[in-house]
Amino acid sequence: MTGETRVLLVVAGGIAAYKALELIRRLREQSIRVRCILTRSGAEFVTPLSLSALTEDKVYGELFSLTDEAEMGHIQLSRDADLMVVAPATADLIAKMAQGHADDLASTTLLATDKEILIAPAMNVRMWDHPATQANIATLQERGVALVGPNEGDMACGEFGYGRMAEPHEIVAAVLSALGREPRSTAGGGPLAGRSALITSGPTHEAIDPVRYIANRSSGKQGHAIARALSGLGAKTTLVTGPTQLQDPSGMDVIHIESAQQMLAACENALPADIAVCAAAVADWRVASQSNRKIKKTGSDGIDSGVPKLELTPNPDILASLSQRGNDRPGLVVGFAAETEDVIRQATQKRARKACDWIVANDVSPESGTFGGADNTVHVIDAQGVDSWARMDKSDVAQRLAERIADHFNGGLTAPAPAPL
């Protein structure tokens, strides 16, 4: 392994270990040599043979293998790499790293290395949320260990939340960034390779005064998931997001804004783009004149100032504005329609009013559980008619929408991506 960029990949034991195979393939597409250490529990999920076939190298497993030590000592193993990557990084291995344990080849090499380490955690959401894991992660980050993911989504154990390992393309992006390298476009870079996508997500916050604002209940889950799905299909992605509780997806530009006016400016800045998906719940109004000082209940004379009258003024409509641009109008503009009644009719009218190409109508009535929830029931409306999808997880809606977008550009030739784990 000389003359090339080299990654030493530790594959620990978790259901996400199977994604290590795709990760190796994608790293090799970037001309990165990969050598693997497979932990004992990792070997329950993937075989040394498949790792070895993809890396075209030996796979290391046992600390006290005399043959391995004779060929390549465990210290040399990490010295020989430019970067160490742990994917999946289990709660157990993360704890070992934080504590400095060295009782197998993986933990020993991670302790002995003088190279940067990038970890892609994968575990059950409760294990991830546990204060012990969070403390271990904080310790590792303080020591300079880089983190990619985990993502939010359905887990193999049937629960939902953070803990799903970052997708291989996200890990590759993090590897390239750790190595200070630009991604190399690949022949197999996905059906949207060479396309650019702009996504709005989350709520906007419209300041009333320095401490108060107008907002809404959008979580940003759907918009973030769409950004991830489009990026996963190879699009160069820009996510413009209002304030959310979500982690920034990796492998794309993420621009944080607060108000609708800032969101519009960020979107205009991100043009030109081939695809625009407006999934943000933009506040329709802001206060006409924002106060620079906190609005007080009592005046300086101590007299009750009464209830303030807030005059509202309309915010710019970002979807309509992108749809109605001239030369730099994105080739495909997709909006969302959040409706509480008469969903399809209202959304069809909204599509015409805003002049977007497709509108994804979703029922956001309180009983639907869409706002803040994990699932979404949508109808995609375009010039041809209405395509109603069954209720599904927001990340599955995102994946299906991204594939529909890829089909639009490729004339229906996009092969469906494997279902996310």
Show which residues are catalytic: 157
Contact 360, 386 (CB under 8 A): no
Contact between 280 and ligand CTP by CB under 6 A: the answer reads: yes
Contact 55, 38 (CB under 8 A): no
User: Which region, judged by CB under 6 A, interacts with ligand CTP, from 100-108, 189-197, 295-303, 332-340?
Assistant: 332-340
Closer CB to ligand CTP, 24 or 282, in the complex: 282
6: nearest Cα among 37, 31, 38, 39 = 31
Q: Which of 338, 397, 402, 405 binds ligand CTP (CB under 6 A)?
A: 338
Closer CB to ligand CTP, 280 or 378, in the complex: 280
Give the burial string for 79-102 (b: 16+ CB within 10 Å, else e).
Answer: ebbbbbbbbbbbbbbbbbbbeeeb
Q: Can you tell me which residue has the tokens 């997708």?
A: 167
Contact between 335 and ligand CTP by CB under 6 A: the answer reads: yes
Contact between 260 and ligand CTP by CB under 6 A: the answer reads: yes
Smallest gap from Cβ 339 to ligand CTP, in A, equals: 7
DSSP character string of 327-372: TT--SEEEEEEEESSSHHHHHHHHHHHHT-SEEEEEE--GGG--TT
- 312's enclosing H/E stretch is strand 312-314
Contact between 266 and ligand CTP by CB under 6 A: the answer reads: no
Residues between 283 and 302 that touch ligand CTP (CB under 6 A): 284
Q: CA distances (Å), 137 to each of 97, 108, 146, 323, 419, in order? A: 10, 18, 10, 43, 29
Closer CB to ligand CTP, 200 or 250, in the complex: 200
Strand, helix or coil at 151? strand
Structure tokens at 351: 């599509």
Residues between 126 and 145 that touch ligand CTP (CB under 6 A): none
User: Which region, judged by CB under 6 A, interacts with ligand CTP, from 36-44, 64-72, 274-282, 374-382?
Assistant: 274-282
Smallest gap from Cβ 191 to ligand CTP, in A, equals: 24
| Helix 221-232 with 168-179: angle, nearest 10 deg | 80
User: Which region, judged by CB under 6 A, interacts with ligand CTP, from 22-30, 180-188, 302-310, 331-339?
Assistant: 331-339
Smallest gap from Cβ 276 to ligand CTP, in A, equals: 10
Beta bridge partners of 154: 160
User: Which region, judged by CB under 6 A, interacts with ligand CTP, from 123-131, 150-158, 316-324, 393-401?
Assistant: 316-324
Smallest gap from Cβ 232 to ligand CTP, in A, equals: 21
280: nearest Cα among 385, 360, 375 = 360
Residues between 350 and 369 that touch ligand CTP (CB under 6 A): 350
Residues between 181 and 220 that touch ligand CTP (CB under 6 A): 200
| # binding residues, ligand CTP (CB under 6 A) | 16
Closer CB to ligand CTP, 122 or 347, in the complex: 347
Residues that bind ligand CTP (CB under 6 A): 200, 260, 278-280, 282, 284, 315, 317-319, 335-338, 350
